[in-house]
Amino acid sequence: MQPKRVRLVVGLGNPGDTYRQTRHNVGFMVLDEVADFCSVALKKSRSFPNLFYGRGTIEGVNTILVKPLAFMNRSGPPVQKISNYYKILCEDVLVIHDDIDLAFGRLKIKKRGGDGGHKGVRSLRQALGGDEFVRLRIGVGRSENEISVTDHVLGRFDPEERKVLEQISTKAREAVVTILCKGTEEGMNRFNDKRILIDS
């Protein structure tokens, strides 16, 4: 009998209070939203000390939710360890991450591809030995001020952005569930090029 397919959903971010609620941690925020909605408890384990993770089913799909705790640029090795342990194929991995090349609040689902300069995605590609994983990119935009990209993504959302963060997290969670349960193509058709607008 064929073993049941297991999906791995990875939210990217940096651990610790210093980075909480920063743009670079939107992947963590959305993963927490998915975990809460699906009643999956995230915890640490001696087997996987550099992860918060939880197992559950999302509308019948066996799913493992993961937040790497090795900092963004070294996200790959802990994810590789758990994916190897559960024998999860690269194409069964869904990665949620911020993207400065998308306008704030815009979602884009992508199959495969490069890292687009995102060092967390780069670490995953190197560790997993391929780029077949699906990405849910969440737009955080670029700064209108003359600050570095690093300062922008490690900065906190401004007051206007915070007004719609909950809407963005909810829409991203819906995208995750759609990808898992109805497929990547359906997710792309429903959520790509959609944007949460900030009310004036």
Tell me which residue range forms the domain holding 87. Answer: 6-195
Q: What's the number of CA atoms in the CB half-sphere (13 Å) around residue 77? A: 7
> For residue 168, is it within any domain?
yes
Q: What predicted TM-score, i.e. pTM, was given to this entire model? A: 0.93
| Mean pLDDT to the nearest integer, 69-85 | 95
> For residue 24, is it within any domain?
yes
The number of domains in the chain is 1
What does the alpha-carbon distance between residue 14 and residue 12 come to, in Å, rounded to a whole number?
7
195 pLDDT more than 80: no
> For residue 187, is it within any domain?
yes
Query: Which pLDDT band holds residue 103 (cuts at 50, 70, 90)?
Result: very high
State in Å, rounded, how far the first CA of the chain is from the last one: 56
| 34-to-10, 24, 64, 66, 101 alpha-carbon distances in Å | 11, 18, 11, 11, 24
DSSP 196: P
Lowest mean pLDDT among 11-25, 100-114, 183-197: 183-197
Handedness of CA 110, 104, 102, 196 (dihedral sign): positive
> For residue 70, is it within any domain?
yes
Catalytic residue among 24, 97, 118, 152: 24
> For residue 103, is it within any domain?
yes
Percent of the chain with pLDDT over 70: 94
For 130-182, write each residue's pLDDT tens digit.
Answer: 899 999 999 999 888 778 888 899 999 989 899 999 999 999 999 999 999 99
194 pLDDT more than 70: no
> For residue 1, is it within any domain?
no
Known catalytic residue at 152 = no
> For residue 200, is it within any domain?
no
Specify whether the CB–CB gap between 128 and 79 falls below 8 A.
yes
13 pLDDT more than 90: yes
* CATH code (residue 133): 3.40.50.1470
Which of 75 and 2 is assigned the larger pLDDT? 75
Residue-by-residue DSSP string for 76-96: HHHHHHHHHHTT--GGGEEEE
Residue-by-residue DSSP string for 11-44: E----SGGGTTBGGGHHHHHHHHHHHHTT---B-
196 pLDDT more than 60: yes
How many CB atoms are closer than 10 A to CB 134?
24
For residue 2, what pLDDT is reported?
46
